Amino acid sequence: MRKWIKWVLIVLVAIAATLLALSFLTYRPLPPRSSEAPSTHITDTADTVLGRSVTRLRADHTGQTGIYPLADGRDAFAIRAALSEVAEKSIDVQYYIWHDEVSGRLLLQSLRRAADRGVRVRLLLDDNNTGGMDGVLMGLDAHPNFEVRVFNPLMHREWRVLDYLSDFARTNRRMHNKSFTVDNQTTVVGGRNVGDEYFGAGDGVMFADLDVLAAGEVVGSVSSDFDRYWASESTYPISSIVPKTTPPIDIGTTPANNAATQTYLKALAQSGLVEQLHSGSIPLEWTSAQMISDDPIKGLGKASREQTLMGRARQVVDSAQNEFTIVSPYFVPTQAGTDELTELAKRGVKVTVLTNSLSATDVAAVHSGYAKYRKELLRAGVKLYELKPSATIVATGTGGLTGSSGASLHAKTFEVDGKQVFVGSFNMDPRSAALNTEMGLLIESPNLAAQLPASLAANGANNSYVVTLDGNNLRWTTNENGQSVTFEREPHASWLRRASVVVMSWLPIEWML
């Protein structure tokens, strides 16, 4: 036995030594910072099509923001594309993920057409998910009206894992922000990345997500926030990162004539939201809204608590008197968060959480960081719902849960006391709190805030598992085919997946989840 342990230790030490050597041998420093002139958002946009439309709409709403929720994936894509097509002066776009597939390529082509019309386009992407896109991004960046920058770049363009070996402290911090701002008049902010699974394209697993279209007062704050990320120490021009030998790719401006693209375009044509945008008849709710975000120095590990979204959001949550409802696909409360939710419940606040079930989540490791706190939360009186893989969340009118095959929750929102609602990129997990940068809108809207708890109360039993305690044992109850069904283990998850969650819950990885 001792001999076996000795050999295991030798192997582990050898692996550690090899990884350490690789980290030194493969380290590539970042290029020198650019000394280019500052680039800021264009403010002289009142006489654009969007400017005149917004001026007319907010005539009786001085100092307020018009809000329209975008829960349907195709509507969410259509509104972005339509805004791009009417842009006259500027488009500022910031995303964590941008897939070069049907929806992503169509949106890039729309941005390219805007640049061809003379619109200044600034595209800021987190570099963690740009693999395989260097040629496309370089082709866009070559356009005189189109500039591409990346946040926290990876210097190994092919073997990107080497950056995590040689510069883990930096590369483990990512920009998770998501915004699409046109002519400094309208913006789309929320949880969606750019990809087919977010915009209802194709037939794979779809992410149930939520954005808001905003016009009016808050847009200037989103534009200013984009400026500080664009100029941050973690942001580099794509041309300074990609090897000069990489040939630029011209994506053109005409949609591909393949079946997938044409099918998606036909589906988009059925959205009535674009016509409402052009006619200025989108039913915006005019109210008070604040943009809250992390200071981009968080990407360097230098942000104080006061400079983080978490610090501001915690003040709002702590003010809860009656109810606090969380919708988070990656819910990892940690012991500190569990204690805070327990304290809220002790004060008489009704605390409710909707997150993914193990069978619905796309990241089992994150589920392991949530699962170990379920019993403690339930004993404190916190209500837990876990979304079924056959359901999704829709907020077009009621925020209700409806059936949709092969869905995974991706919306990130919470409401406090039926008055305030947050919509943004922030997950309730340690990565969003301490590592990634995040942003979102905090909206004063009893109408939107009331939809979350009302939806769960009305539809939660059909489209999610209600988690309860039977003594010391967890139970998952749901309605299937009109009958109440109770499961004694994680529903519709294989034994291997369940076992992996248990093993991962033992590992010291919670701070990265």
Of the candidates 20, 196, 177, which has an alpha carbon nearest to the alpha carbon of residue 92? 177
- Residue with tokens 């009958």, as numbered in its chain: 483
> pLDDT tens digits for 303-312?
988 899 999 9
Distance in angstroms (rounded) separating the CA atoms of residues 383 and 325: 9
Domain chopping of the chain, boundaries: 39-285, 290-512
Average pLDDT over residues 158-186: 92
pLDDT for position 399: 39
Query: If DSSP states are collapsed to H, E and C, what string results for 216-242?
Result: ECCHHHHHHHHHHHHCCCCEEEHHHCC
Query: Please, where are the H alpha helices in 87-204?
Result: 102-116, 134-141, 161-166, 168-171
Query: Which of residues 389 and 237 earns the better pLDDT score?
Result: 237
pLDDT for position 7: 72
> pLDDT tens digits for 97-112?
999 999 999 999 999 9
> pLDDT tens digits for 459-489?
777 889 999 999 999 999 998 888 899 999 9
Distance in angstroms (rounded) separating the CA atoms of residues 121 and 479: 49
If you average pLDDT over every residue of the chain, what do you get?
A: 89
Decide if 331 contacts 353 (C-beta within 8 A): yes
Average pLDDT over residues 52-73: 92
Query: Which of residues 424 and 399 earns the better pLDDT score?
Result: 424
> For 39-285, CATH number?
3.30.870.10
Query: Which of residues 239 and 22 earns the better pLDDT score?
Result: 239
* pLDDT band for position 61 (cuts 50, 70, 90): very high
pLDDT at 13 over 80: no
Average pLDDT over residues 252-272: 89
Which of 108-112, 272-276, 325-329, 438-442 shows the lowest per-residue confidence on average (mean pLDDT)?
A: 272-276
Query: If DSSP states are collapsed to H, E and C, what string results for 382-443?
Result: CEEEEECCCEEECCCCCCCEEECCCEEECCCEEEECCCEEEEECCCCCHHHHHHCECEEEEE
pLDDT at 396 over 80: no
* pLDDT band for position 11 (cuts 50, 70, 90): low
Residue 307: other Cβ atoms inside 10 A: 16
pLDDT at 442 over 60: yes
Where in the sequence numbering do the catalytic residues fall? 176, 178, 183, 410, 412, 417
Average pLDDT over residues 144-157: 95
Contacts of 83 (CB under 8 A, 6+ apart): 50, 91, 180, 182, 186, 188, 277
pLDDT for position 8: 64
Average pLDDT over residues 179-185: 98
Average pLDDT over residues 360-368: 90
Average pLDDT over residues 394-414: 56
Decide if 387 contacts 357 (C-beta within 8 A): yes
pLDDT for position 290: 96
Classify 118 in phi/psi space as left (phi over 0), alpha (psi -120 to 50) or beta: left
Query: If DSSP states are collapsed to H, E and C, what string results for 342-355?
Result: HHHHHCCCEEEEEE
- Residue with tokens 């259509």, as numbered in its chain: 78
Distance in angstroms (rounded) separating the CA atoms of residues 71 and 287: 19
Residue 390: other Cβ atoms inside 10 A: 15
- Residue with tokens 């189109």, as numbered in its chain: 146
> For 290-512, CATH number?
3.30.870.10
pLDDT for position 23: 63
* pLDDT band for position 350 (cuts 50, 70, 90): very high
Tell me the percentage of the chain whose pLDDT exceeds 90.
65
The pair of structure tokens assigned to 300 is 């360097």
* pLDDT band for position 24 (cuts 50, 70, 90): low
pLDDT at 392 over 60: no
pLDDT for position 401: 37
Average pLDDT over residues 378-392: 87
Identical topology for domains 39-285 and 290-512: yes
Q: What Cα–Cα distance (Å) separates residue 294 from each residue in 55, 164, 513?
A: 30, 23, 18
